Amino acid sequence: MGPQPLPQLHFVLIPLMGQGHLIPMADIAKLLAQRGVIVTVITTPLNTLRIQPISDPSIEAGLPEGTETLDTVPSLHSFKNFYVAISMLQQPLVQIFEQFNPRPSCVISDKYLVFTADIAQRTKDRGLLIRGWAPQVLILSHRAIGGFLTHCGWNSTLEGVCAGLPMVTWPIFAEQFFNEKLIVQVLGIGVGVGAKVVVHLCKEEKFGMLVKRENMKKAVEEVMDEWREGEERRKKARQLQGKAKKAMESGGSSYSNLTLLVEDIMQLAEENQAKA
């Protein structure tokens, strides 16, 4: 009796139920699927509804939206491996940005700043205030963005690097203070606002204002500085962007590491099958 064929590798990904975790997990799912792996992303009904218009597998296969069973297929098609490919881009936002002067600016969320009630009205001709979740990757990739205020989470750190942006760093908890040191002291592409105290998640109101307005203003001005120091920071950010892009290309370190991961798991599957 000949050797039994190896079963198709199947990865099950279970992200923390938050957009900041779901999006990169979906990116990993797509990359794994491109290597012939079946991938399932476990999420909640609400998150499923949020991503349904752009995660429809029929769209990936070139079929009309909503085509999910044989009786709804208009004609015979050949399908590749099914996978969930999730992207949170919102095209209308690009059109909104086009209304503003393409001169680089710095986008700041109002979550940790004291904004007055009329902030949206007062800044309507020079800024865009988004309340709630926003498509961060799309925003950072726009040419109008000249700086990125980040809490130094690893996802946001990588997104800032991939966008080639200098950063204003405001760590809050967990490993974010270490990431700030990487951004500011090691890579030289950021300026800190002076955050020193760990603020536990969902308990921000207890701590009050820990970063002064003057420190924030100074950090933004340094990041947006058009003189030698600011330009050097932007130059380093652009260089890192190029390195990040190469790492993701075929033969790059990130591309190769993911391939090695799949091959390693395949080898373990072969060994387990041999023992059975």
pTM of the model: 0.72
Query: Nearest to residue 35, comparing CAs of 191, 274, 257?
Result: 257
Query: Nearest to residue 36, comparing CAs of 262, 247, 251?
Result: 262
- Average confidence score pLDDT of the chain: 77
> One-letter amino acid identity for 65?
E
pLDDT for residue 184 is more than 70:
yes
Query: Nearest to residue 83, comparing CAs of 117, 58, 119?
Result: 58
Q: What is the pLDDT of residues 134-161, one digit of tens each?
A: 788 888 998 888 999 999 999 999 999 9
pLDDT at residue 97, rounded to an integer = 41
Three-class secondary structure assignment of the chain: CCCCCCCCCEEEECCCCCHHHHHHHHHHHHHHHCCCCEEEECCCHHHHHHHHHHHCHHHHCCCCCCCCCHHHCCCCCCCCCCCCCCCCCCHHHHHHHHCCCCCCEEECCCCCCCCCCCHHHHCCCCCCCCCCCCCHHHHHCCCCEEEEEECCCHHHHHHHHHHCCCEEECCCCCCHHHHHHHHHHHCCCEEECCCCCCCCCCCHHHHCCCCCHHHHHHHHHHHCCCCHHHHHHHHHHHHHHHHHHHHHCCCCHHHHHHHHHHHHHHHHHHHHHHHC
What is the per-residue DSSP string for 184-215?
A: IIIS--EEE----S---TT-HHHH---S-HHH
Most confident of 4-8, 19-23, 266-270: 266-270
Model confidence at 86, pLDDT cuts 50, 70, 90, reads very low
pLDDT at residue 197, rounded to an integer = 86
Domains of the chain: 1-88 (no CATH), 92-246 (3.40.50.2000)
pLDDT at residue 64, rounded to an integer = 61
pLDDT at residue 121, rounded to an integer = 80
Residue range 41-45: mean pLDDT, rounded:
79
pLDDT for residue 74 is more than 90:
no
Residue range 234-263: mean pLDDT, rounded:
95
Residue range 57-66: mean pLDDT, rounded:
58
pLDDT at residue 126, rounded to an integer = 77
pLDDT for residue 219 is more than 90:
yes
pLDDT for residue 69 is more than 80:
no
Model confidence at 44, pLDDT cuts 50, 70, 90, reads confident
pLDDT for residue 80 is more than 50:
no
Residue range 119-128: mean pLDDT, rounded:
78
